Structures are given as C-alpha cells and as structure tokens.
Amino acid sequence: MTMAAPPPVAVIMGSQSDWATMRHAAETLDALGIAYDARIVSAHRTPDRLVAFAKGAKAAGFRVVIAGAGGAAHLPGMAAAMTPLPVFGVPVESKALSGQDSLLSIVQMPAGIPVGTLAIGRAGAVNAALLAAAVLALADDGLAARLEAWRTRQSEAVAERPDPGAP
C-alpha cells in the first residue's frame, strides 16, 4: 500500500471571512497542480490551534505556509515564530482601514523572524501562491515547467493594444 504524499502547502487564515481573499491563493495552487491544506487558524480566537499547527507544520510534511489575516494580523508572524518553514503573509482587506492595518501588522516584523509579505487582497493571495510555487519548483522540474507555462499563458493573454470599446 502506498501512502499519499502530504500536501506541500498550508493555506491558513484567521477567519472564514478571509476565504473570499485566500481562495485566490487556493485557485492559483489548483491551476499549478500543487496540493494544499486550507485551514482556519486564528491567532486570537484559537491560539492553541495556532500553536499546534505551527509547531507541527514541518513534521506534518508542509514545505511552505501561506497565512492570510486582516486587522491586527498577528497570524503570519506568530506562525513564523513557531516554524522554520518559509511563511508568506497575505494582508486581507479590512473594512475599517482597507487592509492598511493588515499590511503594516504583517510586514513590520522585527529582525529575526521573517514573513514574506505580499500585497493587500487578491493580488497578494495570487502572488503568495506563485511564490510558494517558485520555492517548490527549485526541487521539482515538473512544477517548474508548469509555472513557466502559466507565465507564458499570462503573457499571451495580454493584447498588443487596448480595446477602445472596453469599459
């Protein structure tokens, strides 16, 4: 009997409400054929779940963590403090401050515990997945080819000139 390989990417988020943003990371991983486990792990509401996840993430077989959170967004930094895995943080667009609170909370890590911080919202979620793919592709030629093909498709989808009739 062969055991299925554990998913290499963990996509964690602080709340169900973050899924509207983080699904873009998940969809990008899907498009690249990268398995992931998506979980709600709140630094504030489920701190014990965060500790268990982050301390066990490497042993569980994950290679990269993508962490999305909004507002006082401690999740990526706290996760990074408890795992040696690379952590990419996605600032979720908050209602009160349009995600600027999330961005500053995630990006301003003191020296010593890094969080690779992406843009606010959908762009950050997509790019977190692409960065995770680039990391994994260093040791996976098949994935490297899929990532290159993804980028080629993106280039080919850009028109030479703007459509003057488009809104």
Strand partners, 38: 11
Nearer to ligand RP5, 102 or 127 (CB): 102
Nearer to ligand RP5, 44 or 146 (CB): 44
Does residue 69 bind ligand RP5 (CB under 6 A)?
yes
Nearer to ligand RP5, 109 or 143 (CB): 109
Does residue 15 bind ligand RP5 (CB under 6 A)?
yes
List C-alpha distances in Å: 128 to 6, 10, 64, 113, 151. Answer: 20, 11, 10, 18, 15
Binding segment toward ligand RP5, per CB under 6 A, in 13-21, 32-40, 116-124, 157-165: 13-21
Whether residue 15 is annotated as binding a ligand: the answer is yes
Cα separation, 120 vs 99, in Å, equals: 6
Cα separation, 68 vs 89, in Å, equals: 6
Whether residue 18 is annotated as binding a ligand: the answer is yes
